[in-house]
DNA sequence: GGAAGATTGTTGTTGACGACAACAATTGTT
DNA sequence: AACAATTGTTGTCGTCAACAACAATCTTCC
């Protein structure tokens, strides 16, 4: 979770900003006023993958945080626990590299998870610099529930963009997983 | 630079291992060690759209920032100028609502852009509370160059995930644009 | 075997960003 | 005219990525 953010309080009045009715446009459309209709013309951003991905990512993370709100787990915490659960004994360096987060950042994440007794740092015998990361017993049962809630979250995503679209998306971005 | 450290080199090497031959796994699979091979097992994160989207979004933004580095324009600044360029005279409130950013945040963004003489806040005649936003002459020519660089960035995205995949992605996420 | 270099976990700083809260000026509503 | 709502602004808080520096501990190489 590299989340960018948020504590999505409650999606108040602004549940969703509706885009415009789409006209087919070429990506090389030049900027020009588009105010003939009452709406704000933003076709200028239509061809930009990064913008759409960013907006979508914010939506997804907010839903994740809301759906896992009852257990107070954020996307990054979830990813850390998932990787440790699947690969017990990993070092902090290995986990950080795997998830693409700074090892400096992982320190705080683990501090929090260890405080909640979901994860344990065990001194490594081979390399006394590093810690072997493990889930606690509580961590394992907790992760099982987190996964159930995460699955529910994934269903929300499927509802939002369509089941097939979600699968296509996962396929397109599989290299980044 | 260090930015490229985010490049998914690990994911790449794992690409072939992913769908394990054997049993069909459900997304709520319990965690279990997957270390038989030398790689770190992360199949546990494979079915999560948010994670893939997040990693991809980071990659895209880093490429955007690098590609537009010579003109020192970040994605948010670009989106603000694009919207103003396409809809001159818009109020700050309207721009913020359109881009889904806080109007408080837009204040700083506009301060920066106005300082660089790319954007102007003009006092609105109708509503003396609000400002009508316009690009300066310099802003218009600058935006034209930004768009050329942004198009180059989009080509990088197409190279990364494939031309058709990029288009499919834009289509899937068109509601968020 | 020991010095030099690299790695691991840690602490701290910086800057971008989202969410909120409060405020003055202005507009709208009644 | 009184009261509510909107707009831009300022400021605070928390999350996150990117760096830099450091002590402790390997690893390498002579």
Q: What is the pLDDT of residue B41?
A: 52
> Does the structure show a pLDDT above 70 at B14?
no
Chain D positions under 7 Å from a protein CB?
6-12, 14-21, 24-27
Which residues, 6+ apart, have CB-to-CB distance to B86 below 8 Å?
A: A31, A32, A33, A34, A41, A42, A43, A44
Q: In terms of Cα–Cα distance, which of B154, B55, B49 is closest to A161? A: B49
Please tell me the predicted confidence (pLDDT) of residue B18. Answer: 32
pLDDT of A25 > 50? The answer is no
Q: Say what the pLDDT of residue A46 is.
A: 87
Residue ranges, comma separated, of all CATH 1.10.10.10 domains in chain B are 50-177
Q: Which residues contact B100 (CB under 8 A, 6 or more apart)?
A: A17, A55, A58
Residue range B105-120: mean pLDDT, rounded:
96
- Alpha-carbon distance B169 to nearest alpha carbon in chain A (angstroms): 7
| Interchain contact, B34 vs A151, CB within 8 Å | no
Closest Cα in chain B to A60: B50
Phi, psi of B152 (to 5 degrees): -65, -40
pLDDT value for B31: 34
| Closest among B113, B65, B107, B57 to B85, alpha carbons compared | B113
pLDDT at A19: 37
Query: What is the mean predicted confidence (pLDDT) over B103-116?
Result: 96
Is the distance between the Cβ of B105 and the closest atom of strand C smaller than 7 Å?
A: yes
Specify the pLDDT at position B81.
97
Q: Which of 1.25.40.10, 1.10.10.10, 3.30.710.10, 1.10.579.10 is the CATH number of A43-176? A: 1.10.10.10
pLDDT in tens, A30-77: 333 333 333 555 577 888 999 999 999 999 999 999 999 999 999 999
Residue A32 contacts by C-beta under 8 Å, 6 or more apart in sequence?
B86
Q: Are A31 and B134 in contact (CB under 8 A)?
A: no
In this predicted structure, what is the pLDDT of residue A87? 95
Question: B32 pLDDT exceeds 80?
Answer: no
Chain A contact probe: residue of B10, B12, B28, B52 with most A CBs at under 10 A: B52
Q: Is the pLDDT of residue B44 over 90?
A: no
For residue A122, what pLDDT is reported? 96
> In whole angstroms, what is the distance from residue B3 CA to residue B67 CA?
12
Q: How many CB atoms lie within 10 A of CB A10?
A: 6
**Distance D4 C1' – B130 CA (angstroms):** 19
Residue A141 has pLDDT above 60, yes or no: yes
Determine contact: A17 vs chain B, CB below 8 A: yes
Q: What is the pLDDT of residues B48-86, one digit of tens each?
A: 999 999 999 999 999 999 999 999 999 999 999 999 999
Min distance B119 CA to chain A CA atoms (Å): 15
CA separation, residue A106 to residues A2, A76, A166, B8 (Å)? 11, 10, 29, 18
Instruction: Report the alpha-carbon distance of residue A17 to residue B95 in Å, rounded.
Output: 12
Looking at residues B113-124, what average pLDDT do you find?
Answer: 96
Residue numbers in A near B67 (CB within 8 A): none
C-alpha–C-alpha distance, residues A54 and A157, integer Å:
15
* Percent of chain A residues past pLDDT 70, beyond the cut: 76
Residue A169 scores a pLDDT above 90 = yes
- Asked if the C-beta of B48 comes within 8 angstroms of chain A's C-beta atoms, the answer is yes
Domain B50-177 CATH (choose: 1.10.10.10, 3.30.420.40, 3.40.630.10, 3.40.50.300)? 1.10.10.10
Q: What's the whole-number mean pLDDT along residues B86-104?
A: 95
For residue A67, give Cα distances in angstroms to A19, A147, B22, B29, B132: 25, 11, 32, 19, 40
The pair of structure tokens assigned to B150 is 């942004």
- Chain B contact present for A101, CB below 8 A: no
With a cut of 80, say whether residue B132 has pLDDT above it: yes
Q: What is the pLDDT, as a whole number, of residue A152? A: 94
Section A145-165 average pLDDT: 95
For tokens 């948020």, what's the residue?
A6
Does the CB of B38 have a partner CB in chain A at under 8 Å? no
Q: A77 near A143, Cβ under 8 Å? A: no
Which string of DSSP letters, residue by residue, matches A83-137?
A: HHHHSTT--HHHHHHHHT--HHHHHHHHHHHHHTTSEEEEE-SS-TTSEEEEE-H
For residue B10, say whether its CB is under 7 Å from any atom of strand D: no
Q: Supply the mean pLDDT for chain B.
A: 80
pLDDT of residue B40: 56
pLDDT higher than 50, residue B130: yes
User: Are the C-beta atoms of residues B60 and A50 closer than 8 Å to each other?
Assistant: yes
Q: How far apart are CA B2 and CA B66, in angstroms?
A: 12
């Amino acid at each position: 979770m590299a989340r960018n953010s948020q504590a999505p309080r409650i999606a108040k009045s602004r549940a969703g900003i509706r885009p415009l009715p789409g006209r087919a446009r070429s990506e090389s459309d030049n900027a020009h006023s588009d105010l003939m209709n009452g709406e704000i013309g933003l076709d200028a951003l239509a061809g930009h993958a990064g913008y759409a991905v960013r907006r979508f990512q914010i939506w997804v993370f907010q839903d994740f945080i809301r759906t896992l709100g009852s257990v107070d787990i954020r996307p990054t915490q979830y990813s850390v626990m998932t990787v440790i659960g699947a690969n017990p004994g990993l070092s902090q360096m290995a986990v950080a590299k795997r998830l693409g987060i700074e090892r400096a950042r992982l320190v705080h994440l683990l501090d929090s998870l260890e405080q909640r007794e979901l994860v344990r740092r065990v001194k490594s015998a081979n390399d006394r610099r590093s810690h072997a990361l493990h889930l606690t017993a509580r961590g394992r049962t907790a992760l099982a529930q987190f996964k159930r809630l995460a699955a529910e979250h994934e269903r929300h995503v499927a509802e939002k963009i369509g089941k097939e679209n979600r699968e296509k998306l996962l396929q397109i971005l599989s290299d980044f997983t």
